[in-house]
Amino acid sequence: MTKIKLGIVGIGNMGSYHAQNITGGKCPDLELAAVADINPERIEWAKATFPEQVKYFSTAEEMFDSGRIEACIISVPHYYHAKYAIECMKRGIHVMVEKPAGVYTKQVREMNEESDKHPEVVFGMMFNQRTNHIYRKMRELVQSGEYGGIRRTNWIITDWYRPQAYYDSGDWRATWSGEGGGVLLNQCPHQLDLWQWICGMPKTVESHLSYGRWHDIEVEDDVTTYVEYPNGATGVFVTSTGDAHGTNRFEIQLDKAKIVAENDSLSVLEYDMTEQQFSKENKIPFATVPAHSVQVVTDGLNEQHIGVLNAWAGAILRGEPLVAKGTEGINGLTISNAMHLSDWLGKKVSIPFDEELFYNELMKRVAVSRRKETGKSVFADTSGTYGGNK
């Protein structure tokens, strides 16, 4: 059987997780052929861990130019996602980018424009939560139009508590210069992607962020956002890494149903008629819309990172569909950037926003970032975390 010769840039927490899945036989169309990392200690760890035929490089460019790989996973700090993806595309190397797509939409737009020049390159984004049967079913129900239009969305996602030790595990973490943001850039890209994938993009964003509220960090660790959609619907998004025992509840209110995802389950309360019809016809002052619970049937599948990689390999070898096209990564990042920009400017921000303004505001914070170039890195097994978040 033909296998795709794969390279990985960055053999840290997520890069090593992908590599172990591949060498463990969980991605039968992929063969780990090479690894690149600027950290000699990680290269030595990889040499002791992976098959002897794997080759190692101290820079990504050396690996790209070696002729040893046909496809590559980009698993490095966020600022370099777009850079290395573009270098792959220019060489005709298929590329899978870890979330987020980048730090700012200006660089991601450049990545997408380069992708358009290389239709032969299969470009994917590691949005593994799109494989979750609950969110796939939510999207199916909302997009079908069966329950009418969206009236309100609410997502509180605070169940990824991080202690100070997490932020102390790397000098790039939770800094403007190293990571480009906090909970929005590290933990939330999946949820921001799912939010827009299921409900569509908002037209305005008004956000309030707290920086280092719960931790000794310079970026945001607590966020509350209000959005408005083109059809007049509204939404609220709340997230934090400071809640010791947090919540993950995603609720969508539609004209003819309420859909709730919580505790790894999905519930649908279906109205006997639309709220509009009931309100118009009802004559009882304190009556409410009659409704009934619906048993939701899903396929139960939740293949996560392995599913994304196997779909990517299938797209390369057999033209099968991707879980998420790489060019779609800009959508959730647009919302994230709008949240930051709204807080920085102290006002509501419209989408699309001024990307040059966002970049300049970000660079102001990068210029005074207190990142310490200590070279400190602590590596941990991410397989048990929510969706394998970094």
CATH superfamily ID and name for 135-301+332-367: Dihydrodipicolinate Reductase; domain 2 (3.30.360.10)
Q: What's the DSSP call for residue 325?
A: B
Q: What is the pLDDT of residue 212?
A: 97
Are the C-beta atoms of residues 226 and 206 closer than 8 Å to each other?
yes
Collapsing DSSP to helix, strand or coil, 323 comes out as coil
Using CA atoms, how far apart are residues 148 and 80, in angstroms rounded to an integer? 41
pLDDT-based confidence at residue 372 (cuts at 50, 70, 90): low
In this structure, the chain runs to a length of 390
- 323, with CB counted inside 10 A (0-12, 13-18, 19+), is buried
The one-character DSSP state at 388 is G
Exposure string for 348-362, b = 16+ CB within 10 A, e = fewer: ebebebebeebbebb
Domain boundaries, the chain: 4-129+303-328, 135-301+332-367
Q: Averaged over 67-76, what is the pLDDT?
A: 98
DSSP 178-229: TTS-STTTTTTHHHHHHHHHHH---SEEEEEEEESSSSS-SSEEEEEEEEE-
Above 60 in pLDDT, residue 377? no
Segment 104-148, tens digit of pLDDT:
999 999 999 999 999 999 999 999 999 999 999 999 999 999 999
**Tens of pLDDT, residues 49-70:** 999 999 999 999 999 999 999 9
Confidence grade of residue 371 (pLDDT, cut at 50, 70, 90): low
- Domain boundaries 4-129+303-328, corresponding CATH code: 3.40.50.720
Q: What predicted TM-score, i.e. pTM, was given to this entire model?
A: 0.94
Strand partners, 7: 34, 72
